[in-house]
Amino acid sequence: MKYYILFGPPGAGKGTHAAALVEKYNYKHISTGALLRAEIAAGTELGKQAQELIAGGNLVPDEVVEGMIESTFRNNRDVPGFLLDGFPRTIAQAEALDKMLAKTGEEVTGTISIMIPDELVFERIKRRAAIEGRADDASDEIIANRVKTYHAQTEPLIEYYKAAGKYHEVMGDGPTIEINRQRVLDLMETLQ
Ligand code: AMP
């Protein structure tokens, strides 16, 4: 089983390009953000706990997302691999993922990092807000907090995966979605 991590700041295009990878390779896409939004929409206890943190642009507790990831792995054994989108987001989550996979003698296959500058994060998220209506895309203040959270808690993962020899980066700031998508597809092809 292959385990790829789609890494990058909010608005880098992880979800957008995941769709192309799913189409080409039949991997199972797991977006922890989408799973959490589904819990909120369904009004579950977990959704209620996560709602305020997400709306403020803060991370939910590691154990919550780790549990979601582990049960998705368990319930999808008939796929060639997984695309993790938005997980791990902290060093603790990355360590938990390594431990989870080690139980079955497996490991992360590679990290595909899509990089964009902070200015573009704001521009992209504002555009997305008009289309998707996500609460955490709604204001400059919340977006700024998500960017801050990314730099403080998620960016250290770059060194973590570099040290493991599993870090691969493309720039996601090309002029069109198609150009950026091709960069991601070309990189994934080298990781097969
Ligand atoms: P995303 O759709 O990936 O931008 O995630 C939306 C929000 O869900 C994030 O801003 C966090 O509040 C929460 N979230 C998603 N994934 C994680 C994670 N791996 N760890 C903690 N919080 C997460």
Q: What is the pLDDT of residues 130-182, one digit of tens each?
A: 999 998 998 999 999 999 999 999 999 999 999 999 999 999 999 999 999 99
Q: Is 59 in the pocket of ligand 1 (CB under 6 A)?
A: yes
* Total domain count, the chain: 1
Q: Domain containing 96: what range?
A: 2-191
Establish whether 146 is a catalytic residue. yes
Using CA atoms, how far apart are residues 74 and 52, in angstroms rounded to an integer? 28
Establish whether 14 is a catalytic residue. yes
Q: Is 36 in the pocket of ligand 1 (CB under 6 A)?
A: yes
* pTM for the structure as a whole: 0.96
Confidence (pLDDT) at 135: 87
Reduce the DSSP state of residue 50 to 3 states and report it: helix
Q: Structure tokens of 65?
A: 């997302």
Q: What is the pLDDT of residues 88-117, one digit of tens each?
A: 999 999 999 999 999 999 999 999 999 999
Residue 87 has pLDDT above 90, yes or no: yes
Q: Is 53 in the pocket of ligand 1 (CB under 6 A)?
A: yes
Residue 20 has pLDDT above 90, yes or no: yes
Whichever domain contains 146, its CATH number is 3.40.50.300
Residues in the chain: 192
Q: CA angle, corner 116, sides to 110 and 122, nearest 5?
A: 130
